[in-house]
Amino acid sequence: MASNAEPDSSADRLVLPAKLSAMERLPPWIEAVAKNRSIDDRTRFAIHLCLEEAISNIIRHGHVETAAESTVTIACAASPDGQLVFTVEDNAPPFNPLAAPAMPIVDANGEIPIGGHGIRLLRNFAGSLDYEPTPTGNRLRIGFVIER
């Protein structure tokens, strides 16, 4: 994926403290971005699903010991290849969700296991995914094909 997508304005960037309570700010921000960019309902659903899953996992698993001073930044930009790209950056320990194995839908007993489904959701609903470690944490780019 092209990594030169840059936020168009401050309205295309959201900084959250790494606390689950801060996630209440995410849906209205996504709605504003979607409205400003005339995003269809199907893509809007996929954006909500992927961002909520990625950010809640970052907060719940990545910031267990450092939550007091940690943030998660989400920026939105159009890429040259016609996607809407959300770049999620955090300062949690490195974790590449793209390298994680796919969890089985059911376990050996035919039961649906708890956990491990977020990465599957990202892989199924996003148009593209790209991960890179940063000097201070992680950068995950989640792209969505925009139908015009």
pLDDT in tens, 26-65: 999 999 999 999 999 999 999 999 999 999 989 888 765 5
> In this model, does residue 5 exceed pLDDT 50?
no
pLDDT band at 80 (very low <50, low <70, confident <90, very high): confident
Cα 74 from Cα 90, distance rounded (Å): 9
Q: What is the mean pLDDT of the chain?
A: 84
The third-level CATH classification (topology) of the domain covering 10-145 is Heat Shock Protein 90 (3.30.565)
